[in-house]
Amino acid sequence: MRTVYALFVGIDDYPGGRRLRGCVNDARDAESWLRQQSGTLAPVVRSLHDGQASRAAVLAGVRQHLGQGGPQDTALFWFSGHGSEYRTDDPREATGHAQALVCHDSLGPTGQPLLQDSELGALLDEIAARGTHVVAILDCCHAGGATRDSGFAPPGATSRGVDWQPWWQVTAAPREGGGESGPDSARHVLLAACRPHERAHENLIDGRIRGYFSHALLGALDRLGSGAPYGAVHTLAEERVRTRTPFQHPELRGPEDGGFLSGAAVTTGPFLLRHTAHGWEVNCGQAHGLRAAGAEFTLLGGPTSRKAVVRQVHPESCLVEPDGWQPGATDRYLAHPVAPTAVAFTPAAVTLAGDPGPVQLLSAAMAHVPVLAHGGDGLPLRVDAAGGWARVSGGAGHPVPELPLRSRADADRVVDCLAHLARWHHILDLHNPDPWLSSLVRVTVEETSVGRVTHSADGEIVCGYTLTGREPQVMVRIHNQSHRRLWCVLLDLTDRYACSPHLYEGDFVGPGRAGLARRGEPVWLRLPPGRALVRGAFARDWLKVIVTENELNLAPFRLPAWPPETPEEGERAYREPAVGGLLRLTTPSQRRDAGGPAHDVGRWGTAQVVVRTEVT
């Protein structure tokens, strides 16, 4: 049984007329919910309410209580109270503001310093680095940046934020250690009540004063259960808050498919269907490659006849209508995993050549994968089958190792490889036909004291190993040259056909400012395992930034390398071909032709650079 070390902080009784009324209610209700899960979890709880929640007590609770967690344990930090923000020139703060939690003894000229985002985040990540799954839930103003503009309050609501006071001192933010260019060491998951520049609110709900976010989050957990993935929990809570106020947008920072309070991967689809005030919505939009109405999604885990057809496409999402089925009473209060089954893009054009028997096996296997077609105008891929082996070619990345081709299972494996390459190229080729927003963002790769950076004649950024064999280190920045705040994610597409947002997992960048990859630490570039460090050896990374005005679903942009780096990844990719990334499609019962570009390309854009890491 998983042990959950939980620290619940709720502060209503702030001095100086800054009193709140629903924060202790939130903390107590959250604690009650956790204790009700004792059949599957073992809670170890510490609670700090009102005057107990001094800065020293909160820090001690994090270090000593949550710090007890080890591998296979969970540390849960819950804070309901005031938040604040301040202007900063720190280049690691892409919005130009930093955030902090207001402890009980911080409101006063002689009070204690606030608990800054950088300080709290570093403490939580320290615990996560020891193998504990760490979750922070913050119901306060500016929460989306508190482990990292004032909004409008709806009628009757109270804002959970205070303006920065002149006596509050800012301490130097700790610098985090270096790392590799692959996914960083474990970090905490953040569920935040609002975006960094927004305010969170509380109001009378069901006869008690509650935080909008806390009430919505616990309601989502009641419906979905403690093992639900973070993405589903967040999407339900976000919609419930959105029905109460348009000025507060809860955020999730962490893996969408991680199980709540465990982090274990939960098999789900890349997209979620939910009911909103505007109708049924799927978190798939133009920035994912969905071009036009007419596309089709199938609900996973139920009857294959349950489909939804796209009626309107927006940059980050689309509105759909159930097709041939009537949602039940409970469907409106759930998040349904869905996979696209007929999407408006051109499938890869596959040429099959070689021995007739294996070619026939491959052709039969391809019939169930809409992302692949025999010929056409799509990405040209080729399979040469001979002597019981298949050689796949045509991709822009490193050559794919030969695959066995002696059985139907082998043929499915080869087709899975083709589909993976098609998915990767689809992300690589994403662009908005309207170049306006794309022209206002760019990615730069800057030299540090380790390695050298040059530019090739064909526009590649070339990063060389040092003469002593050290991997080059660079600084990567995302520049927003527009006059508006933009949400940005930086994708690293490697030549082993992997894609990951780990360098910059989505955040707002202020107008005229830049976001720093890896939170300001250098990006280490190196050749992947298996490539000899000999003169002339190289690897490529395509660094692609996608910008929108609102947060984007990142699940479709997480692709493992091909071939998978571990046997477990390989088995998972083989067993679960229908729920991988964006273009791993299920087979439609009736194929819909969605063709044609969208009339409204929407406000989103991309920028891209190619980085070549080489041994000279």
pLDDT in tens, 499-557: 999 999 999 999 999 999 998 999 999 999 889 999 999 999 999 999 999 999 999 99
How far apart are the C-alpha atoms of 526 and 612, rounded to whole Å? Answer: 10
User: d(Cα 592, Cα 342) in Å, to the nearest integer?
Assistant: 6
pLDDT band at 25 (very low <50, low <70, confident <90, very high): very high
Could you report the per-residue pLDDT of 413-434, keeping only the tens digit for each?
999 999 999 999 999 999 998 8
CA distances (Å), origin 328, targets 333, 519, 557: 10, 45, 31
Which of the four pLDDT bands, split at 50, 70 and 90, describes residue 399?
very high
pLDDT for res 445: 97
Once rounded to an integer, what is the mean pLDDT over residues 547-569? 84
Q: How far apart are the first and last CA of the chain?
A: 52
Residue among 5, 34, 76, 44 at smallest CA distance from 221: 34
3-class secondary-structure state, position 306: coil
In whole angstroms, give the CA distance from residue 581 to residue 5: 33
Q: Which amino acid is present at 497?
A: Y
Alpha carbons 70 and 27: distance in angstroms, whole number? 24
State the pLDDT confidence band at 572, using cuts at 50, 70 and 90.
Answer: very low
Integer CA distances (angstroms), 537 to 403, 498, 534, 540, in order? 24, 19, 6, 11
Name 356's Cβ contacts closer than 8 Å, sequence gap at least 6. Answer: none
- Alpha carbon separation from 187 to 122, 136, 184, 366 (Å, rounded): 9, 11, 8, 39
Strand 318-323 to strand 461-464: parallel, antiparallel, or no bridges (unpaired)?
A: unpaired
Could you tell me which residue, 261 or 566, shows the higher pLDDT?
A: 261
DSSP 437-464: TGGGEEEEEEE-SSSEEEE-TTSPEEEE
For the segment 363-380, the average pLDDT, to the nearest whole number, is: 91
Q: Quick: pLDDT tens for 445-481.
A: 999 999 999 999 999 999 999 999 999 999 999 999 9
Q: Does residue 12 have a pLDDT over 70?
A: yes
**Per-residue pLDDT, 179:** 36
Rounded distance between C-alpha atoms, residue 71 and residue 267, angstroms? 22
What's the longest Cα–Cα distance across the chain? 83
Residues 232-286 have pLDDT tens digits of 999 999 999 999 999 999 999 998 999 999 999 887 788 999 999 999 999 999 9
Query: For 42-68, what is the mean pLDDT?
Result: 97
CB-based contact 159:105 (threshold 8 Å):
no
pLDDT in tens, 303-316: 667 899 999 999 99
* 138-156: burial string, b at 16+ Cβ within 10 Å, e else: bbbbbbbbbbbeebebeee
Which H/E stretch holds residue 427? helix 408-428
Helix (H) or strand (E) holding 233: helix 230-244
Q: How far apart are CA 200 and CA 212, in angstroms?
A: 8
pLDDT at residue 71 greater than cutoff 70 = yes
At 183, is the pLDDT very low, low, confident or very high (cuts 50, 70, 90)? very low
For the stretch 285-294, pLDDT in tens is 999 998 889 9
Q: Which helix (H) or strand (E) holds 253?
A: strand 251-253
The DSSP letter of residue 507 is E
Instruction: For residue 562, give both structure tokens.
Output: 């091909």
Alpha helix locations (H) across 89-133? 117-128
Classified as helix, coil or strand, 25 is helix
Rounded to an integer, the average pLDDT of 360-379 is: 92
pLDDT value of position 172: 56
> Are 481 and 468 spatial neighbours (Cβ–Cβ below 8 Å)?
no
Q: Is 466 exposed, middle or buried (0-12, 13-18, 19+ CB in 10 A)?
A: middle
- Judge if the upstream peptide bond of residue 563 is cis by omega within 30 degrees of 0: yes
Query: Higher model confidence: residue 167 or residue 436?
Result: 436
Q: Please tell me the predicted confidence (pLDDT) of residue 145.
A: 61
| Whether pLDDT at 444 is above 60 | yes
Mean pLDDT calculated for residue range 14-31: 94
Tokens of 517: 């990859």
Lowest mean pLDDT among 496-500, 548-552, 589-593: 589-593
Q: What is the DSSP letter of 368?
A: T
**Neighbour count for residue 118 (Cβ, 10 Å):** 24
Q: CB atoms < 10 A from the CB of 591, how many?
A: 11
pLDDT, position 509: 96
- Least Cα distance to 515 among 196, 94, 173 occurs for 94
- Tell me, what's the pLDDT at 591? 31
**Percentage of residues of the chain with pLDDT beyond 70:** 88
Q: Which residues pair with 474 in a beta bridge?
A: 447, 523
Type and span of the H or E element at 549: none
Average pLDDT, the chain: 87
Q: Which amino acid is at 580?
A: G
pLDDT at 557: 95
Chain position carrying tokens 């040209």: 380
Which pairing describes strands 380-386 and 348-354: parallel, antiparallel, or unpaired? parallel
Cα 324–Cα 330–Cα 336 angle in degrees, nearest 5: 65
Alpha helices in 245-286 (DSSP H): none
- Percent pLDDT > 90 in the chain is 71
- pLDDT value of residue 156: 75
Predicted pLDDT of residue 108: 76
pLDDT-based confidence at 616, cuts 50/70/90? confident
What distance in Å separates the CA atoms of residue 547 and residue 191, rounded to the nearest whole number? Answer: 22
pLDDT recorded at residue 276: 94
